[in-house]
């Protein structure tokens, strides 16, 4: 179906919430409450984001998480990269050479990079700031105009 996982989905929701007050420290129970999601799930996601350096974590009582960078500086690509691993749409890339059975007969190896790169760049072009809104409906309007193109019958 070519979709991101729910974890990533939730992660973007949580980060968007935090982006409203970029300086503040949020703890997991609070974010779970705000997002209407179960605490264990939220906790798991925040751990991953902290492990990969998108969030700073403070342990102990009065602990919590806060954004490392400004929302403008965080791209959706980084979030996805953290929560579901490398953005590689095709296989023979990150398996390294020699793994692909077709090896000799597959003239596509290099061209797969085109896809991976295109998607990666597209996602790098969207910041957490944009996702967090309140970006007016005018931009969204622009977006959905082409969203309902030939691909979305």
Partner DNA sequence: GTAAATAGAACCATATCGGTACTATTTTCT
Partner DNA sequence: AGAAAATAGTACCGATATGGTTCTATTTAC
Q: Which of residues 18-77 bind DNA (CB under 7 A)?
A: 27-29, 38, 40-41, 43-44, 46-47, 50-51, 57-65
- Angle at the Cα of 88 (from 147 to 10), degrees rounded to 5? 60
Q: Which of residues 38-67 bind a second copy (CB under 8 A)?
A: none
Stretch that binds a second copy, among 21-29, 39-47, 63-71, 98-106 (CB under 8 A): 98-106
Quick one: three-class SS letters along 19-58? HCCCCCCECHHHHHHHHCCCHHHHHHHHHHHHHCCCEEEE
Q: Which does 65 bind (CB under 5 to 8 A by kind): a second copy, DNA, none?
A: DNA
Binding a second copy (rule: CB under 8 A), the pick from 60, 96, 97, 134 is 134
Binding site for DNA (CB under 7 A): 1, 5-7, 10, 27-29, 38, 40-41, 43-44, 46-47, 50-51, 57-65, 84
């Amino acid at each position: 179906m070519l979709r991101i996982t729910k974890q990533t989905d939730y992660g973007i929701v949580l980060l968007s919430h935090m982006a409203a007050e970029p300086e503040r420290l949020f703890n997991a129970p609070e974010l779970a409450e705000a997002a209407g999601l179960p605490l264990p799930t939220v906790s798991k996601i925040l751990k991953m984001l902290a492990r990969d350096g998108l969030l700073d974590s403070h342990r102990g009582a009065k602990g919590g998480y806060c954004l490392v960078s400004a929302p403008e500086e965080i791209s959706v690509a980084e979030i996805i990269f953290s929560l579901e691993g490398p953005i590689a749409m095709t296989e023979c890339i990150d398996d390294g050479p020699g793994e692909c059975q077709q090896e000799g007969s597959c003239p596509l190896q290099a061209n797969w990079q085109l896809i991976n790169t295109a998607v990666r760049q597209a996602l790098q072009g969207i910041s957490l700031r944009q996702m967090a809104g309140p970006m007016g409906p005018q931009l969204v309007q622009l977006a959905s105009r082409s969203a309902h193109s030939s691909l979305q019958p």
